[in-house]
Chain A
Amino acid sequence: MTATAPMAPVRYQAPVRYRPARDSALIAGRNLRVLRKNPGRMIYPLVQPLVLLVMFVSVFGNLAVTGHAAGASGTYREFLIPGIIIENAALTAPTTGLALLRDASSGLADRFRSLPMARAAVLAGRLASDAIVFAVQAVLLLALATLLGFHVRDGLAGLAAITAVTVAFAVSVAVLSAWLALLINDQETAERVLFFPAIALAFVSSAFAPVADLAGWMQPAARVNPVTAAAAVIRSLASGGALAAPLLELGCWTAVLILIPGTLAARRWHAAR
């Protein structure tokens, strides 16, 4: 090897200011490229939910029900499918925290922190790329659900609205998982801990049964659970029920979950050690 141009010191022209949108897009692009080049990583967020949907609908979908649990078509299937869509979003969201913690625990974190880039870009880029994954997951689930007999009153517009609601819900839970993962700060512990709240969120809610039919001790928590609000919004979008109240409740939850854990997660990522 000889002294060549690449080794010559060059006065680097530093960017005048941080460019958070550009840097976030670069990080999101990197995350999506990792998925594309490692397709096995797509099994959990994109294949497993489809399997779960088929299993749930095949086992429980033909139960004869009446009252709250009977959807517009009068079947439990109509009630169950929105719950499964939201449950899958809640169960996928912790992958955001785990991926962020993987970066934070590797030499890559120091690399990012030592570059003249916007520090918030690592968190924002992760959320942006995961939002795309959540959207693809919702579209695939809705397509399969339609094949399984799920009907949305307003057609494509309704399906698009359900996708948007699902992504907003998933991103808010993903932000919570990001903060919890950075708080736990240990990959193995986080892998074992982060999915527990997601499972609790899904079951202590109206995802699978109306709140009134749950055990008495569950009902207060289920009423204020964001999963209940999200499932109610999807059911209303699908069947044309009352939308305003659950939508407002979900909007409040989404804002709270993004702002508070989001700020705390950003602080933990930014904190110089």
Chain B
Amino acid sequence: MSDPTAARATSKAAAIEVAGVRKAFGQVTALDGVDLTVANGTLTALLGPNGAGKTTLVRIIATLARPDAGRVRVFGFDVATQARQVRARIGLTGQYAGLDDALSGHDNLMLIGRLAGLSRGQAASRAAELTAALGLADAVGRMVRTYSGGMRRRLDLAASLMHKPDLLVLDEPTTGLDPASRRQLWAILTELKAAGTTMLLTTQYLEEADRFADVVHVLHHGKIVASGTPGQLKSLAGGEGTSLDDAFLALTRTAGADTEAVA
């Protein structure tokens, strides 16, 4: 089946455009006028302390939540009114693995691939490719409940890649993994980036953003308080010798002080 809008979608220079997005849960403001752009083919990291609004923003981009105000476009499609077109082009690896523990790895990939629109043959072939590439070929017949944390993460990533998405959204993909598993996952993400997949990720590990991200956005109290390359953020916060950890702490402390001053 052909999608007449595919050319339009993939020709956009911006993979994600977020403009004036606000979201509140009752009295708690999660996002307070967020603007950002993610360029095609880049790896963009969202940094912020717990409760900064990272996951809320990721959920809106992945069509899992609706903004109260503002607009989000993914490859030119509005996440609120053109959710199906957005979903066809994104893969999501959330904080919790989107897998059925009571099925084998193969069964999970087949189900997710077919629900994404692949034929049985396409799904089987894609599952074989991905499990081989992600080092899961020997385990794919086992129940997911027997997998280690690292294997679950890799299978979850494989599930996100079944329909060959243009944009991969990763919400803290390495949280809870041991160093070896984190390294393995980053090797895979680096390959994906080299192959041209656009990625948006949140992470608590600043050294990961420093090492792998093209662009970093720092989110604090629901607002973007700084954006730039890791090098630019370090310069902004203190110049040479400043780590991204230092820069992050300085930027969020400054933003917090500003907020308090305004209040």
Chain A interface residues (CB < 8 Å from chain B):
1-16, 18, 23, 26-27, 30, 33-34, 37-38, 106-108, 110-117, 121, 272-273
Which residue of the partner chain, among A34, A106, A110, A121, contacts B92 with CB atoms under 8 Å?
A110
Of B2, B100, B194, the most chain A CB neighbours within 10 A belong to B100
> Considering only CB atoms, which chain B residue lies closest to A2 in the complex?
B191
> What separation, in Å, do the CA atoms of A13 and B87 have in the docked complex?
12
A13-B1, A116-B116 given; A273·B59 CB < 8 A:
yes
Q: Is A37 a contact of B59 with CB atoms below 8 Å? A: no
Q: What's the minimum C-beta distance from A65 to chain B, rounded to whole angstroms?
A: 45
Q: Is A15 a contact of B129 with CB atoms below 8 Å? A: no
Contacts of B91 in A (CB 8 A): 114
Q: Is B63 a contact of A113 with CB atoms below 8 Å? A: yes
> Considering only CB atoms, which chain B residue lies closest to A15 in the complex?
B117
A5-B129, A6-B161, A272-B66 given; A11·B6 CB < 8 A:
yes
Which residue of the partner chain, among B3, B87, B95, B191, contacts A114 with CB atoms under 8 Å?
B87
A7-B197, A106-B96 given; A12·B166 CB < 8 A:
yes
> Considering only CB atoms, which chain A residue lies closest to B135 in the complex?
A1
Q: Is B1 a contact of A12 with CB atoms below 8 Å? A: no
**Known contacts A11-B166, A12-B164, A33-B103, then 8 further A-B pairs from the complex at CB < 8 Å, ordered by chain A residue:** A11-B6, A13-B1, A15-B117, A34-B102, A107-B96, A114-B87, A115-B112, A115-B163
A26-B114, A30-B111 given; A12·B197 CB < 8 A:
no
Q: Is B64 a contact of A113 with CB atoms below 8 Å? A: yes
Chain B interface residues (CB < 8 Å from chain A):
1-3, 6, 10, 59, 62-66, 84-85, 87-92, 94-100, 102-104, 107, 111-112, 114-117, 126, 129-130, 132-133, 135, 143, 156, 159, 161, 163-166, 187-188, 191-192, 194-197
Of B95, B103, B143, the most chain A CB neighbours within 10 A belong to B103
Q: Is A114 a contact of B96 with CB atoms below 8 Å? A: no
A13-B3, A30-B100 given; A110·B85 CB < 8 A:
no
Q: Is B98 a contact of A110 with CB atoms below 8 Å? A: yes
A14-B85, A30-B107 given; A38·B102 CB < 8 A:
yes
> What separation, in Å, do the CA atoms of A273 and B66 have in the docked complex?
7
Which residue of the partner chain, among B112, B143, B197, contacts A9 with CB atoms under 8 Å?
B197
> What separation, in Å, do the CA atoms of A15 and B2 have in the docked complex?
8
> Considering only CB atoms, which chain A residue lies closest to B194 in the complex?
A3
Which residue of the partner chain, among A7, A8, A16, A34, contacts B3 with CB atoms under 8 Å?
A16
> What separation, in Å, do the CA atoms of A273 and B87 have in the docked complex?
16
> What separation, in Å, do the CA atoms of A15 and B118 have in the docked complex?
9
> What separation, in Å, do the CA atoms of A14 and B161 have in the docked complex?
14
Contacts of B107 in A (CB 8 A): 30, 33, 37
> What separation, in Å, do the CA atoms of A59 and B44 have in the docked complex?
69
> What separation, in Å, do the CA atoms of A230 and B94 have in the docked complex?
45
Q: Is B6 a contact of A272 with CB atoms below 8 Å? A: no
Q: What's the minimum C-beta distance from B171 to chain A, rounded to whole angstroms?
A: 9
Q: Is A7 a contact of B192 with CB atoms below 8 Å? A: yes
> Considering only CB atoms, which chain B residue lies closest to A22 in the complex?
B114
Q: Is B85 a contact of A37 with CB atoms below 8 Å? A: no
Q: Offer 20 A-B interface pairs, CB within 8 angstroms, sorted by A.
A: A2-B191, A4-B133, A6-B126, A11-B10, A12-B88, A12-B164, A13-B3, A14-B84, A16-B1, A26-B115, A30-B107, A107-B99, A108-B100, A110-B64, A110-B92, A110-B94, A111-B92, A111-B112, A115-B115, A115-B116
> Considering only CB atoms, which chain A residue lies closest to B60 in the complex?
A272
Contacts of A15 in B (CB 8 A): 1, 88, 117
> Considering only CB atoms, which chain B residue lies closest to A30 in the complex?
B111
Q: Is B63 a contact of A3 with CB atoms below 8 Å? A: no
Contacts of B163 in A (CB 8 A): 12, 115-116
Q: Is A272 a contact of B97 with CB atoms below 8 Å? A: no
Contacts of B135 in A (CB 8 A): 1
Contacts of B195 in A (CB 8 A): 3, 7-9
Q: What's the minimum C-beta distance from B55 to chain A, rounded to whole angstroms?
A: 11
Contacts of A10 in B (CB 8 A): 164
Q: What's the minimum C-beta distance from A215 to chain B, rounded to whole angstroms?
A: 44
> Considering only CB atoms, which chain B residue lies closest to A112 in the complex?
B115
Of B88, B98, B112, the most chain A CB neighbours within 10 A belong to B98
Q: Is B89 a contact of A14 with CB atoms below 8 Å? A: yes
> What separation, in Å, do the CA atoms of A3 and B87 have in the docked complex?
25
> What separation, in Å, do the CA atoms of A58 and B45 have in the docked complex?
67
Q: Is B6 a contact of A116 with CB atoms below 8 Å? A: no
> What separation, in Å, do the CA atoms of A116 and B1 have in the docked complex?
14
> Considering only CB atoms, which chain A residue lies closest to B152 in the complex?
A107
Q: Is B102 a contact of A37 with CB atoms below 8 Å? A: yes
